[in-house]
Amino acid sequence: MSHGVVAIGFDPGLAITGYGVVRMEAGKWEAIAGGVIRTKKDTPRAERLRMLHDEAQSLIETYRPIGMAIEEVFFATNVQSAIRTAEARGVLLMAAAGIPIRGYTPLQVKKRIAGYGKATKAQVQAMVQRLLSLAELPKPDDMADGLALAICYLHEERGVDPREHDYV
């Protein structure tokens, strides 16, 4: 009996990192877990990064995904924010040591999930809700992005377009 394939997605940030764990089995998508990892601003940066690493590593050990999807970092203006996000992304990559990793830009995620590269956050959330048959919109945005990233990984891994199926 098959248990499907599982992927984990991370939307990196030093203060808030969203994550989502998705299973695909027999062409059906299921959210196994989703949430956010928060670190406190008044905690030293090195400690915040260690906490993020440890939480991510625990999620990976718990759900044993075939791979990890992570949002690519790019910022046009705020250099300090870009540095903090890149550091968070780095510790997430370390936590995933030993499993395949794929990076996706926000544009790629929007195109793959909503079919349109300029989709709004609300449109992506609504499509994630639909694809995963969730009773409510996935919130916060960071968690919705983590789930969307995991869907992107499985879509690419298995060649199944989530938008080509009928959903209730």
Active site residue ranges: 11, 71, 142
Q: What is the pLDDT of residues 22-64, one digit of tens each?
A: 999 988 899 999 999 999 999 999 999 999 999 999 999 999 9
Handedness of CA 58, 62, 68, 71 (dihedral sign): negative
- In sequence order, the β-bridge partners of residue 105 are none
CATH of domain 5-163: 3.30.420.10
Residue 65: cis peptide before it, omega within 30 degrees of 0: no
Quote the CA–CA distance of 75 and 164 in Å, as a whole number: 32
Band (74; pLDDT cuts 50, 70, 90)? confident
Residue that is written with structure tokens 């992304």 in the block: 89
Band (93; pLDDT cuts 50, 70, 90)? very high
Mean pLDDT confidence for 106-117: 94
pTM over 0.95: no
Residue 11 has pLDDT above 80, yes or no: yes
